[in-house]
C-alpha cells in the first residue's frame, strides 16, 4: 500500500491500475477510521482490483462554529488499518492541495439537502457535494462506497451523481453497530462513559419505531412522539426525529411503503445521528 | 460519421474509440453551426483521434423571456457540415434525455459569472456550467473546445474545470469573423440587411479601443466612453462595454497588462456580443 499526498500522484497510480485492466474503488473518508469505514474498504477490496481510500477533513463542509479543528486526525492508525484491510492507496491531501485557490465553483443539490441535518448545518452539504465531485474527478473510480450511517449524505450523493451524469456507481453500505447497537461513528470517542450508555437511546428509539411499524402502526406523528420520549428519557437534546421517503427524504405522514426513520441528537456536547430503513415486511 | 441521441450510445462509441487508444475531443454546441463552430471542429479533428460534436439547445441556460423556442434548430445542415469537417460523432440528445427528472443539482461558479452577460441573464451561467458538467461526464473527452466569442463563458468554464479538478483540458479558440469584421454568431441570421451593416459597430468599437491602447492610452473610462460613442452612432442599445482582466473578468481601471475589451448590445431585436484580447505589444 502506498500513501500519497498530491493529486498528480494519485492520478498516476490510478492510471497505471486502470491500464492493467483493473476496476477502481474509492472510499472517501475524513479519517478517524472505525469498523464502519472498515466495512466500506472491505467491500471495495472484495469487488475492485484497486482500492483508494481518501482521508481528508474537508474544511468546506464544516460551519464556523463546528468542530473542524477538534475533528480527530489519526493518519498513522488509519494507514495501518487500511493496509490491514487490503487497500492499495491512501490519498491524504492537504487543504492547500485540494483548495489551492479561492473556491468559486460549488456543486449544490437542492431540496434533499434542506431538511434534517441540512436545516441546522447551512453550507454543509454544499461542501460535501463539492468535495466529492473533486474527489471523483481526481480519482476517476468506477465505484465509490458510502455508509448508510450518513443517510442524508448518501441520498444527496446518489442524487448528485444521477443529476450530473457522473460516470461512476455509488454503493451505499449498511450501518455497522457496536454489539449493544450504537452506530459506529468517529465522534463516539468524545462520549464519557455515562454518555456512552445514554447514547444507546438512538438505536433503541429506531428499533422501537420499526417494531411498531411491523406491528401495523402507520401514523408517523405518533411514532415520532414515541421515539422522542425514548430519547428524552436519556436527556438527549433532540435536533430532529423524522420518518421520510428513502430516496427523496420527503416526510411521510402515513406509512404505506418502505420508509427511513432518522434521529439526530446531542448528548453532552456530542452530536450523534442514526437511522433505520424500515420495510413493511421486515421482522 | 454517426448521429446518436442517447447517453448510452455516445458512451459506447467513445469507449470503443478510447480502447483503440484514441484521444477524444468534444465540441459542445447548440447547433445552428457556422464557421466559428467549424474552426473548433477543425481544431479537434486535427488534434484528436475521435471528435464528438454535441448539439443541444440547453433549456436551463435560457431565461423565461429569452429566445429558447425561437433559437434556430438546423440539425440536417449541421450534420452535413460536421461530416464535411471530419467529425466522428454527433450527440444530439432530447431535453428529456438530458433532464429525465427534475434537476436538483447545479454547478455554480461565483464572482466571474455575476457581471457582464451574467448581470442581465440571471441563471444563464448556472445552466451553462451544469450542462457542460453533464456533457463532460457523459462524453469523458480528453479535451473540449470553446470559442473566445463567448469570452465570459470560456472564462467560467476554465475556472469551473480548475475548481472541480475536472479531468479534461479546455481549449479556447480565436473568434472567427466575416470579411468585414462581424464576429460569427448563430444569432446573426436574425439581422435585417440594415441591421447587419450597423452591427459592424461592435468590431469597430473594439478595434478602435485596441488602437488607442497600442497608442498609449491607459484610462479604461475614457476608452469605454469612446467605444460607447461608436456603438451609439449606430443606434445600438448598449448592455455593457467593459475592459477587464482576461482570467478573473474583474474590471481594470488603469491598463498595465493584457486586458479583454467586451461589448454587448441589442440591434433591432437581436442581442450581439463581441470581444477583443488586447496586449500592450499588439500592433
Of B103, B138, B164, the CB nearest to A163: B103
pLDDT in the model for residue B132: 98
| Chain-chain contact of B137 with A167 (C-beta, under 8 angstroms) | yes
CA distances from B70 to B47, B62, B149, B187 (A): 34, 11, 21, 10
Which residues in chain B are closer than 8 Å to A109, comparing Cβ atoms?
A: 104-105
- Average pLDDT (A206-218) is 96
Question: What's the average model confidence in pLDDT over A18-35?
Answer: 96
Contacts of A138 in chain B (CB under 8 A): 165, 167
State mean pLDDT over B71-89: 96
Rounded to two decimals, the pTM is 0.96
CA angle B263, B191, B243 (to 5 degrees): 5
CB atoms within 10 A of CB B129: 26
Is B130 touching A (CB cutoff 8 A)?
yes
Q: Which of A105, A108, A159 sits opposite B164 (nearest CB)?
A: A105
Question: pLDDT tens digits for B158-200?
Answer: 999 999 999 999 999 999 999 999 999 989 999 999 999 999 9
Q: Kindly list the structural domains of chain A, giving each domain's residue range(s) and its CATH number in brackets, ordered by start.
A: 2-173 (3.40.50.620), 186-276 (3.30.1300.10)
Q: What percent of chain B is predicted at pLDDT more than 70?
A: 99
**DSSP tally for chain A: helices H, then strands E:** 10, 10
pLDDT of residue B65: 87
Work out the average pLDDT over A5-22: 96
Residue B145 pLDDT > 70, yes or no?
Answer: yes
CB burial of residue B108 (10 Å; 0-12, 13-18, 19+): middle
Flag if A108 and B111 touch (Cβ within 8 Å): no
CA pair distance B48, B42, nearest whole angstrom = 10
Place of cell 489551492: A100
B39 pLDDT higher than 80: yes
Q: Report, as an integer, the average pLDDT of A222-250.
A: 97
A261/A243 Cα distance (integer angstroms): 4
**Closest chain A residue to B103 measured between Cα atoms?**
A163
pLDDT given for residue B108 in this prediction: 98
Angle value at C-alpha B188, between B186 and B192, nearest 5 degrees = 145
User: What average pLDDT does the segment A35-59 reach?
Assistant: 98
| Cβ–Cβ under 8 Å, residues A36 and A149 | yes
Average pLDDT of chain B, as a whole number: 96
| Residue A225 distance to chain B (closest CA, Å) | 31
> Mean pLDDT score of chain A, rounded to an integer?
96
* Rounded mean pLDDT, A146-169: 98
* Residue A283, pLDDT above cutoff 60: no
pLDDT value at residue A95? 97
Provide the 8-state DSSP code for A222: H
pLDDT > 60? residue B283: no
Q: What is the pLDDT of residue B67?
A: 81
Q: How confident is the model at residue A282 (pLDDT cuts 50, 70, 90)?
A: low
- Cell, residue B203: 468590431
Name every chain A residue with its beta carbon within 8 A of the beta carbon of B112: 104
Q: Do A105 and B110 touch (CB under 8 A)?
A: yes
B245 within 8 A of B252, measured Cβ to Cβ = yes
- Per-residue pLDDT band for A243 (boundaries 50, 70, 90) equals very high
E strand intervals along chain A:
2-4, 24-29, 50-55, 89-91, 105-109, 143-147, 169-173, 237-244, 259-267, 270-278
**pLDDT, average across residues A27-36:** 97
Q: Sheet of A237-244: strands edge to edge? A: A237-244, A259-267, A270-278
Among A61-75, A193-207, B50-64, the range scoring the smallest mean pLDDT is A61-75
Q: Which tens digit of pLDDT belongs to each residue from A62-91?
A: 998 888 998 889 999 999 999 999 999 999
Residues of chain B neighbouring A112 (CB-CB closer than 8 A): 104
Give CA angle at A130 (A263, B143), nearest 5°: 150
DSSP 3-state of A64: coil
At B193, is the secondary structure helix, strand, or coil? helix
Binned at pLDDT 50, 70 and 90, residue B82 comes out as very high
Q: Which residues pair with B52 in a beta bridge?
A: B26, B89
Q: Supply the pLDDT for residue A120.
A: 87
| Confidence band, pLDDT 50/70/90 cuts, at residue A149 | very high
* CB contact at 8 A, B126 and B60: yes
Contact B164 A7 (CB under 8 A): no
Query: Which residues 163-182 on chain A approach chain B with CB closer than 8 angstroms?
Result: 163-167
Q: What is the pLDDT of residue A76?
A: 97
Amino acid at each position: 500500500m502506498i500513501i500519497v499526498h498530491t493529486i498528480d500522484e494519485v492520478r498516476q497510480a490510478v492510471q497505471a491500475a486502470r491500464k492493467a485492466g483493473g476496476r477502481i474503488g474509492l472510499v472517501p473518508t475524513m479519517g478517524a477510521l472505525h469498523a464502519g469505514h472498515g466495512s466500506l474498504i472491505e467491500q471495495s477490496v472484495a469487488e475492485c482490483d484497486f482500492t483508494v481510500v481518501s482521508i481528508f477533513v474537508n474544511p468546506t463542509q464544516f460551519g464556523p462554529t463546528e468542530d473542524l479543528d477538534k475533528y480527530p486526525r489519526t493518519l498513522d492508525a488509519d494507514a495501518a488499518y487500511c493496509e490491514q484491510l487490503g487497500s492499495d492507496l491512501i490519498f491524504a491531501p492537504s487543504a492547500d492541495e485540494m483548495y489551492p485557490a479561492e473556491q468559486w465553483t460549488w456543486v449544490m443539490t437542492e431540496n434533499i439537502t434542506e431538511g434534517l441535518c441540512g436545516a441546522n448545518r447551512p453550507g454543509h452539504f454544499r461542501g460535501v457535494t463539492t468535495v466529492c465531485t473533486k474527489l471523483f474527478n481526481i480519482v476517476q473510480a468506477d465505484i465509490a462506497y458510502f455508509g448508510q450511517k450518513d443517510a442524508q449524505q448518501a441520498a444527496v450523493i446518489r442524487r448528485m451523481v444521477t443529476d450530473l451524469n457522473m460516470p461512476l456507481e455509488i454503493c451505499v453500505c449498511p450501518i455497522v453497530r457496536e454489539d449493544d447497537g450504537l452506530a459506529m461513528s468517529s465522534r463516539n470517542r468524545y462520549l464519557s462513559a455515562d454518555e456512552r450508555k445514554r447514547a444507546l437511546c438512538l438505536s433503541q428509539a429506531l428499533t422501537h419505531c420499526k417494531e411498531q411499524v411491523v406491528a401495523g402502526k402507520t401514523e408517523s406523528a405518533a411514532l415520532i412522539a414515541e421515539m422522542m420520549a425514548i430519547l428524552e428519557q436519556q436527556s438527549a437534546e433532540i435536533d430532529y426525529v423524522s420518518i421520510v421517503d428513502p430516496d427523496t427524504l420527503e416526510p411521510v405522514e402515513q406509512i404505506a411503503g418502505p420508509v427511513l426513520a432518522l434521529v439526530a441528537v446531542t448528548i453532552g456536547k456530542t452530536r450523534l445521528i442514526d437511522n433505520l430503513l424500515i420495510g413493511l415486511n421486515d421482522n
